[in-house]
Amino acid sequence: MSADDHQPRSAAAVDERPDLDAASLISVRGLRVHFETKRGRAHAVDGVDLDIRDGETIGLVGETGSGKSVTARSLLRLVPMPPGVLAGGSVLYRPKQVCGACSGSGCTACGQVGRRPIACRACDGAGCEACEHTGRHTVDLLRISDTELREIRGNRIAMIFQDPGKALNPALTIRQQIAEVFLEHRSGELLQAAGLEDGDRRAGRLMRRSAHQRVRGIERLMLKLPPWRGRQVKLSTAIDDAVIRALEDTRIPNPRKILTNYPHELSGGMKQRVMIAQALACDPDLLIADEPTTALDVTIQARILDLISELQQRRGTAVLYISHDLSLVKRVCDRVAVLYAGQIAEVSDVAELFRRPMHPYTRGLLAAVPSAEQQRGQLRAIRGTVPELVDPEPACRFHTRCDAAVPLCASREPVLWERGDGAAPHRVACFAHADPQVLGVDRRELPVLDEGSS
């Protein structure tokens, strides 16, 4: 997979483009993911800039088809290509490692989370071009080798998918699906739990065999004989214990009973929880949760949210939380990014966004959220539908639905402008918040928003 160089979303007003938060765990820069279709190239994700800070929960919201899942999947190179095309951008990841001072148990040096950033190899932490002056080791997830990516995927960055039915392997039992994660990324700990030596060549071979599920025929016979037999039993028990603990965390009733089940034998909610157990198994630095609780009833939903926040507190895990549900986002997120037609419309702290939404689309989304005080019939839907994403003209993508649109909106593309004060950073891509001088237009050419514009 290759990417063109990162292009800014628009040549106009580039000068006003704010510096993104360079110290973040993840910095998505100018991400463009398109799809070749019969009607032309659909610009599904088109210049997304997004920062995910260590330990925060950031919500990604937007209507269906706005590009939330494609953005999230792109972080781990999980968009099928073709029909997908990586048209540009980068996803910079600043990994962490087990804290040397406490070996992961938590100490003051690592803020009790057991993991610390890795110093940039080029400047040893002093700051240089290679690390964007953050002093942190930085890799571009879109450009590292498949082997390097495999080390990160499911281990340091894990994902809960929108559709558990498709995400689980139908040919593997629940035990195998979760054991795979432990065997691939936590082999040392498993051997220790089984009382076997990490350096024991036979134990290592046994581990590899178990990981690849290739124990058959003569091998199986051999494993029944001592001294293999003893090792096999110890390792199996350690794997079972780890898998059961991971399942118990999601409050699945009687986890031991479902170990030998296949995904099709479980309900939607159970499958969702198996996937969550799998994602949380390795205490990742980042958990991407794509509508993680839509298939679950309210009590289980609350339990899963608690589980995710426990993990955050224990390990300082950052969470990218994708949801349609704005009231849920308000409850669980620190910051929110609003995505519209493949572009970020607005991003800010959650309280600030709900108090002072700046983009007409965000205002429309908020007006469409039912609240207890609302009278019947007061709910306002945003008029029109999401625009065609095939070969779009340079314009504000919301202009066909926006009450405040002016001719400028139909002929130029807004970029994200910083419009918060120092205490509450707030970025918005709407000409009503642009500086006419930077754009080279008269102030009267800019749109004006009234209190309720959408």
Ligand X SMILES: Nc1ncnc2c1ncn2[C@@H]1O[C@H](COP(=O)(O)OP(=O)(O)OP(=O)(O)O)[C@@H](O)[C@H]1O
CB atoms within 10 A of CB 195: 13
85 to each of 39, 96, 279, 290, how far by Cα in Å?
15, 30, 27, 21
- Residue 367 CB, nearest approach to ligand SF4 (Å): 15
Rg (CA), the chain: 24
Q: Which does 399 bind (CB under 5 to 8 A by kind): ligand SF4, ligand X, Mg ion, none?
A: ligand SF4
Selected from 66, 317, 362, 454, the binder of ligand X by CB under 6 A is 66
- Is 409 an interacting residue with respect to ligand SF4 (CB under 6 A)? yes
Stretch in the footprint of ligand SF4 (CB under 6 A) among 21-29, 117-125, 367-375, 394-402: 394-402
CB 15 within 8 A of CB 440: no
Size of the site for ligand X (CB under 6 A): 15
Residues making up the chain, counted from first to last? 454
Stretch in the footprint of ligand SF4 (CB under 6 A) among 9-17, 18-26, 36-44, 401-409: 401-409
The pair of structure tokens assigned to 45 is: 């994700």
**H helix runs in 250-373, sequence order:** 255-258, 268-280, 298-315, 326-332, 350-355, 360-367
- Is 387 an interacting residue with respect to ligand X (CB under 6 A)? no
Give the whole-angstrom CA distance, residue 202 versus residue 204.
5
- Residue 53 CB, nearest approach to Mg ion (Å): 23
- Residue 400 CB, nearest approach to ligand SF4 (Å): 8
Give the whole-angstrom CA distance, residue 44 versus residue 50.
16
DSSP 36: E
CA 171 to chain centre: 26
- Is 178 an interacting residue with respect to ligand SF4 (CB under 6 A)? no
- Is 392 an interacting residue with respect to ligand X (CB under 6 A)? no
- Residue 59 CB, nearest approach to ligand X (Å): 13
CB 334 within 8 A of CB 350: yes
User: What x-and-dash track marks residues 156-195 binding ligand X by CB under 6 A?
Assistant: ------x---------------------------------
Pairing state between β 57-61 and 40-52: unpaired
Give the whole-angstrom CA distance, residue 209 versus residue 223.
11
Q: Which is nearer to ligand SF4, 316 or 360 (CB)?
A: 360
Residue position matching structure tokens 């309900």: 267
CA 160 to chain centre: 9
Closest C-alpha to 159, from 5, 289, 297 = 289
- Is 35 an interacting residue with respect to ligand X (CB under 6 A)? yes
- Is 357 an interacting residue with respect to ligand SF4 (CB under 6 A)? no
Q: Which is nearer to ligand X, 44 or 337 (CB)?
A: 44
- Residue 157 CB, nearest approach to Mg ion (Å): 18
- Is 110 an interacting residue with respect to Zn ion (CB under 5 A)? yes
Selected from 70, 86, 99, 194, the binder of Zn ion by CB under 5 A is 99
State the residues that interact with Zn ion by CB under 5 A. 99, 101-102, 107, 109-110, 120, 122-123, 128, 130-131
State the residues that interact with ligand X by CB under 6 A. 35, 42, 44, 62, 64-70, 80, 83, 162, 389
State the residues that interact with ligand SF4 by CB under 6 A. 359-360, 396, 398-399, 402, 404-405, 409, 414, 430-432, 447
